[in-house]
């Protein structure tokens, strides 16, 4: 991750259970060539020790705005001037409120007011707190000032409530990768391009309650949208129900059924230069939807009909668009992927296997009419970067 080479990162650790992940954040940044200094709040010290953080960072941990050793140098200003970027992970509702409202009553909140470098925040808290209007408003204030916010994940929380809910801090590797992508100088090789991307599953209703769908999370499509926007493109994302947050700099068009997705694609496709069909469209739908809920005691026989083939329609109507399709197979079925490449009249097929479903990672193979390129298992954002690297290379060669 070249973004961290010789980069000085100031990590703020606050009082949440996710503080136990902070040493791993430090370790990954240092491994990638960065330097890390840590500021620990009084509440944060209840969850992780300064000794641990000093050991992994190789630097003294900042605790107090007025050090007990009598050194009255402007500690908060020194930290703010030293760093190239600041990351708060975990970020509690308390530090988020202080940052948004300009409160400076301890070392970390004072540094946040003084720092003039990129700021990154990874909120972590109980789901009820995260959904509170005050927290929502404070996060919006920070976003409006250019602070990068990494949305928390859905997962088990420390409150021990049954089931999963939003508020869990992402894993350290995800946080560092997210931060690295923002710190890297963007390559504006897609400026002036309009990119159409589809993502997530479609749903086909059986009755008002039940439906046919699949396990797609939409994470790959969202990663593609984020990468295209990062490279300067105007991005339209047509998506079903997704399990990841959609970037703010993307035009999102939510749909439910395959027919709805096709209708939006037909509207947007003529105006785009690049189209990436990453959605997992249901192949079949019920011939007729039951108006009322089918009773459990009733025997149900479903007659299914084929849904429209959106990628095929796009291939048949392709003019100057660079068209990318996805092929999901049980294994690396190159023959099936090549058949799809030809049949759908696509420029590129991304072959991946079912292990990628609902995962943060993906192992892809890129196939064109003339070549194939295999990649190791990497994060979906890294896979998205590889896909767009290939797309821009092909367009540069004159492919259409």
Q: Can you say how many angstroms the Cα of residue 178 is from the centroid of all Cα atoms in its chain?
A: 8
Helix (H/G/I), strand (E/B), else coil: 2: helix
Q: Can you say how many angstroms the Cα of residue 86 is from the centroid of all Cα atoms in its chain?
A: 20
What distances in angstroms separate CA 105 from CA 91, 116, 389, one per listed residue?
16, 19, 46
Query: How many CA atoms, within 13 angstroms, populate the side-chain half-sphere of residue 231?
Result: 21
What distances in angstroms separate CA 199 from CA 65, 224, 258, 323, one per listed residue?
47, 9, 12, 15
What distances in angstroms separate CA 321 from CA 168, 275, 295, 328, 348, one per listed residue?
40, 7, 47, 23, 12
Q: Is the dihedral of CA 18, 21, 23, 25 positive or negative?
A: negative
d(CA 92, CA 126): 10
Tokens of 190: 């897609």
- The residue from 94, 126, 214, 290 that is catalytic is 214
Query: How many CA atoms, within 13 angstroms, populate the side-chain half-sphere of residue 236?
Result: 20
Query: How many CA atoms, within 13 angstroms, populate the side-chain half-sphere of residue 253?
Result: 17
Tokens of 225: 């949208």
345 is annotated as an active-site residue: no
Taking CB atoms within 8 Å and a gap of at least 24, the contacts of 151-159 are 151/123, 151/245, 152/122, 152/123, 152/124, 152/125, 154/243, 157/126, 157/127, 158/17, 158/126, 159/126
Whose tokens are 């990068």? That residue is 148
Count CB-CB contacts under 10 A for residue 342: 11
d(CA 341, CA 311): 10
Backbone angles phi, psi at 334, to 5 degrees: -65, -35
Q: Which active-site residues does the annotation give?
A: 214
């Amino acid at each position: 991750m070249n973004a961290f080479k010789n980069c000085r990162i100031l990590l703020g650790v606050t009082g949440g259970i996710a503080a136990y992940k902070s040493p791993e954040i430090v370790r990954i940044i240092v491994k990638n060539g960065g330097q890390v200094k840590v500021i620990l709040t009084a509440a944060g010290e209840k969850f992780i020790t300064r000794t641990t953080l000093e050991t992994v960072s190789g630097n003294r941990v900042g605790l107090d705005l007025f050090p007990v050793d009598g050194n009255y140098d402007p500690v908060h200003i020194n930290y703010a001037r030293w760093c190239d970027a600041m990351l708060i992970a975990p970020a509690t509702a308390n530090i988020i409120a202080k940052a948004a409202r300009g409160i400076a009553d301890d070392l970390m909140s004072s540094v946040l007011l003084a720092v003039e470098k990129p700021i990154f925040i990874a909120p972590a808290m109980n789901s009820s707190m995260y959904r509170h209007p005050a927290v929502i408003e404070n996060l919006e204030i920070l976003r409006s000032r250019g602070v990068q916010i990494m949305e928390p994940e859905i997962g088990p929380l420390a409150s021990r409530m049954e089931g999963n809910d939003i508020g869990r801090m992402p894993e350290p590797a995800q946080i560092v990768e997210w931060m690295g992508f923002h710190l890297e100088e963007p390559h504006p090789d897609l400026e002036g391009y309009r990119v159409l991307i589809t993502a997530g599953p479609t749903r086909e209703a059986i009755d008002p309650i039940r439906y046919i769908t699949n396990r797609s999370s939409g994470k790959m499509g969202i990663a593609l949208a984020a990468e295209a926007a990062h490279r300067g493109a105007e991005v339209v994302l047509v998506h079903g129900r997704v399990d990841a947050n959609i970037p703010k700099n993307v035009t999102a068009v939510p749909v439910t059924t395959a027919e709805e997705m096709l209708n939006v694609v037909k509207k947007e496709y003529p105006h785009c230069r690049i189209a990436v069909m990453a959605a997992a469209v249901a192949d079949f739908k019920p011939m007729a939807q039951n108006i009322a809920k089918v009773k459990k005691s009733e025997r149900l026989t479903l007659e299914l009909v084929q849904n429209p083939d959106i990628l095929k329609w796009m291939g048949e109507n392709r003019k100057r668009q660079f068209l990318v399709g996805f092929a999901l197979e049980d294994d690396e079925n190159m023959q099936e992927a090549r058949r799809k490449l030809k049949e759908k009249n696509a420029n590129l097929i991304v072959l991946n296997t079912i292990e990628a479903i609902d995962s943060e990672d993906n192992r892809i193979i890129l196939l064109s009419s003339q070549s194939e390129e295999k990649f190791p298992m990497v994060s979906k954002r890294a896979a998205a970067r590889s896909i767009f690297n290939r797309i821009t290379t092909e367009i540069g060669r004159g492919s259409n």
